[in-house]
Structure 1
């Protein structure tokens, strides 16, 4: 007994200390398992950190500390991270990097220090970074670069030094000598000139492929004495360049032998048109980017030398129609006209563009497409025409036989009819989201046998809109998006014609967030036919229960999201068919326990998201039942910081297999004295009970007390006896002071909710109405907001009697069991007749066997039985009245005494 009491006390003790090591990293999130260490990503971004955590897992390959307030990179930060391939530290306040700070990162391939406050690049900053291929130093305050700074970067291919304070091109001269360099960004600096004599040695830029000279100041001088120095440059970006026209012309001539791609963004209508002529004179040019130039029209003369182009980007301009010059570029394969003011497409706009493969016209004002407008687009595979004002008006009933991707999102479509897409035999991807589609005619998608992706989200589809005949001719469909519509069901009963029963190859289904207060119910056979389904998004549907057979039709489901539903409890049977489930989302569903997962046989589960629930304890049995778990999200729960979670705390800190999301940020909710403390600060050592030691202590104490008692009885017998009788006298006087005339009610009524009709129709009118007794009823007299158990105790001890209305339902009720327990304790304590048993129905003795306390009561005390139907009830009410009037009888005087 001593051991049990001591253990009970230890379950509520909480002593706190700091713990810092293991898989969980304070202020960071780890993605990936140390057990399978191919890719371990650590995210410490947006945490207001002043320093980089010292216990980053040794096997980490990616580390992001962006958006913090770090000011200095110290040498010891990375001494153990020899596997790190990417380090991202942009948007901090880094002013200094110690020499050799990155020297341990021998596998590093990407280093991003952009948007910081670096002013100097020292000679030892990049020491031993032989495998680095990408370096971002843009948006700093760099004015000086040591001549030896870039020497170790023998594998560097891309470097960005834009928007710094560099004034002399010679500062970056060592950079240009790197053997693998392909892409350089040096725009928006303060260079006054670019003269090859300052930077060039033999064999300069042998692999330079991409050069960005955006936003160069107008006073800069460009002087390249030998064009062969830049012969490998194929991609040139002159966006926002401020040089005079003649200087830009000279600059372009430097690349005339090799250039394939030219970007002339944000230069203005006049300037860019002048440059187009010069750019198109480069015979090797294939891509021309003209974004954000306020172009309203383009004449044939302005692009007469551009016939060699295969890609043209005219997005983000002011075009009111498709320029007529487009049809004179027969070699075009890619055309971007997004974000203009085009209102219609005529039948000659795309004439002769037989090689065009991608046409983007997103975000215009197109409301009309003339017949035969797509007649010559025989090679078109991608048509992006969303965010316009189109309705389906036979535009796709002919032509475009090779089209594979069609995007009609955010238009004015209100229905889909049979034949609307009949000519698109090759279509694989059809996107119709953000329209007003409320009706889909049966057979609308007939003929689209190659369709694998169908997006119908954010429309006005209802249950009647998605009949099985709508999807009956899509044998290869793999992704169906129906979220954010108005689909709902009245119950869980099986559907006569489940809508997805013909989609045997479907792998992804989204039905989340249905309007008009959600879907309400999931019919038990809604997913019938989806035997290949792998991913189901069903969050925010306002469903509060699931039929146990819901997922019997989806045995290969590996990701399931049921978040933001009121699923207060779930049955184990629901998950038994999901033998390959890997990801389970149950956030914001009101769960109080995860015990339903213990026997669900989810042996393949990797990720479990159960944030923002009412979970208090995570036990060892649950974790052991999920042997492959690598990620657990418990944020926003009501965790107990006592010994019930001691095992979980130890496991969280020491496990190399599973990461607990933001483990060091998990807070206590119970007991009150530690509310708000961190869970991992729990001192679990105080919970480790040494059974042998405490048994020894308890046995020694018992023996000592026995010896002491024997000693006192032998030598101080009469003094002990005298003290005993004094104590009895005190207790007797104390009980005499408790009188019943101060009680609030005549009787407390204990009953089950299934018997409430009898209480309200029979008992209450008779006892309160005719006999005048004052009764205490839980639904009427309990104090709102007060714990239920406190209300029960107060109600029983504030009443002269307790009347228990016994039925089969009563015996099975947990709360009724507690009420009769309290009444029995009062009976034992006060030794008075305070308990009246009323049986509403006959209950055989063998059925009472499991209810030990009830059986003892009826064996030792008389009770009342409600008469059978048709019998006179007056005798019953008279006996009950007598029992209530008898307020002063003691236990020994009353026939019901004897417990």
Structure 2
């Protein structure tokens, strides 16, 4: 017995091994699930490696690049060894399918850079060895997704910097090796010092180099510099690792990246940000990807000449703000879009020399504001009307230096651009016009019906039933909302759309998303799925969306959320589940969403039983949930926010059905079985097809032996992946038109043994892949000509067991069968008598004749009721067939109804308008008797009563119902405008405030009394517009004004300054108030208190003194005005200063006439002073210079005396500008006094 068991085990093992050995690559050796391709000198991954390989050894070869499809579908691979090769590049998606990988060795290679997300799919990876490479930095996204890793080896690299977020989430690390790198001891590594201090067994012997002393020290010693780092401005510390890495196999020096002649097939993606010049010439690059240079803000020269470039995307040159030279010569360009060079405002040199361009769309070079040199020669330009603009452009700019010439049409061949007359560039025919008319629609055509704007594709509201498969590969935003899409299938279409960032599928009919449907959409940030019919999401639904940030599932039919529904969506920030049918959420459903900042759970019918108790606590602790989700059941908790419940409220009733069962539904109708895309509902007693309960990916559907009477259109619209349908042994009576048109994959259709009587000519339209059609055992007598036209792949049709009536109407079928012999010779004719029992296949075509028309019609009546001898339409209505067994009746006048059975009452809906009376006539006619003022067939028109109006004096007639009125012009009134008005009559006088009315020919005029103005004397004139108030406010009155004087001023015009008594002046200094008040400072002075509790006054301009009571100066801007001053005290000294400007030759400045006189005036342009005090003859003096030039002049009249007499008197006249002072004249009563004054005050 033991021997027998051992033999069986060996046999099973041999079977397993033979499976792998049979698929083993010839250059490798295979041992069961292990494949050894090591030390073979391989330069590429060998083809033919089994998909279910467990361990793959590729070490010690010459591999240089790991491409994205090298390990495709290796989902069971656990160990991968790539050590000691020449690997310098790993594509971002190279490890995408290695979901079971546990150990990966990449040590001993030439890696200097790894893109973010390279390892994001390796959720099971436990050991990663990157030692002995040339890595220079570890950025935060490089190790993303390695949540299970416990052994990470980064030693023996050239790492100088490591970002803090790089190892976030690597919570299982037991070994991390960082020694033998080139870490720089600065504040950027302070986080790592803390980390290694906290985990003393990790990163042993990790050292960094001091920038000052060049000595090495343990990284943990940086803890001593924590205070110094904390005191630094955070902006002074760059916590990111901006280490320039030169892409392989290029060379980099002093801002120049040289990739010339390196056999590159694509542009490297890790070009340093600091690049100034990029050389990519003489490679095999075929396209310039969207935004490939967007980070190169400093790039000035770009050379991509001598490549194979045929495709330039709209955003290929985005971000190149500093570019001034672009060389695209010697490529394969056939088209350049009008927005290709958008944003290249600094470009001065552009070379498109030696390409395959036939035309260029107008404004192609419009964005190039600084273009100076343009090379366009050696292109096969067709010089028609579409290139007229280019000829004018080159003639005006004179920037083309390569001698571009025309290649066609023949009349323009070898003609040079820029010198030809624009009229030579013309399109002689429509063919010639269309040859280059759409030149701006370049590399990828926009999907049919959609619009493309740059990298945005809009296919909104086009009744699409599936996502188009011709979306341009450069698309970044795809708008598919408002369509009829039911399913997002797993067809790999998103692997092409590597740049897609936004996908909008709102308001469709989505019911299912295949697992891994979004595989390859790595760049997708926003996914909108609101307003659909999604009822389930599996853990694999959103596989591949590792960078998704916004997910909108609002208004769907989701009923539950499991704790793995949103797994592996670390970047998700916004999630909306608003308005679904969610009853229960499993604990921990949102724990993996570490970046989640906004969650909407409102408008869901939550069942608040014991399974939901966790949610209450979670909601209280979380601050990311919008609003307050409420309970829907049990009844006592309805509409109560979940956070307001107590733990005792969450109770499960053992006798009730557990509505919180969150297991995935079966998606299979009752009494049916569903497995592996096959649905079997045979003998299920079905009367209708439960199409809405069947999986969308159903391929085989068995509905035989039921009681189904009709095929709903929803079935074929929903299950579009059907390959086989069996509807035999049911009760179908007919097959509707176009019912199968959506089933383009259908290969087998079995409709045998039903009660089918009728077929439409389009019943089988669209079934181009149908191979087998069975209509055996039905009641079909005739088949419309052309019913099988679309069945181009048909190999077998079963028509036996039908009462076929083989007259002239069925002759086409016999000929069609004989063409390809798709009918095996079973179908027989049932009539007419001469054709009874004859085989359809072998009967000659001339046997199919129509001898008895009535007999033929009797069979045709089965499907067309209009052929009945008795007209189905009553009252001689005409019958018109619509579809199988359905018709409509066109009734004669006077009758209505489905079959014209009812007599029409023409007045039933009262067709007459405006209260007219309706009279019924024969044959469904009627007559309207109109009310006064209306006419027309239905009394719809108002009679124009203005036709014979009597309005006079140009009055306007206004029509009314059975009447009219007159709108009169000015000065006329009366019913017919027959009376003329006199505005100045007593009862009409419009002049107010005693104004006098004066009648004119067609108007009037008001002569207003004093103080009033306006058309009707209603406006009080502003008498203050030219007032004379000096130190006060003008108050307007009626025909006059008054002056409200400032404090202390009097006079009609406030011209008299306040007079202060000497006693008051003597004692005012003794007044010493203790606090500032309004009466301390006079004349609007401002009171303030000094530190010594003394009160001071800051005087208003023109006043001086301790309390601002002395008038110092007066200002006036009014010409020909005078100022009256009180008697001044001129002894022993006085000063009168006048500042003025004038262009007149004469005018008085000052007159003083008390006990003598003093006059200062402008006389003949100079200042003249006349002075007489009575002790001698009067004196006159003039200024040296003229003062009537319009400039400002300051005149000082100084009176100085040593005694109280008029002796020893000095009068000085001086003129002063803003920067100097000049003595104009001086009169002295004694020379000695004058000399002393000049010395003291001159």
If the length of structure 1 is used for normalisation, what is the TM-score?
A: 0.24
Give the structure, 1 or 2, with the largest relative contact order (CA under 8 Å, sep 6 or more).
Answer: 1
If the length of structure 2 is used for normalisation, what is the TM-score?
A: 0.19
Would you tell me which structure has more helix in proportion to its own residues? 1
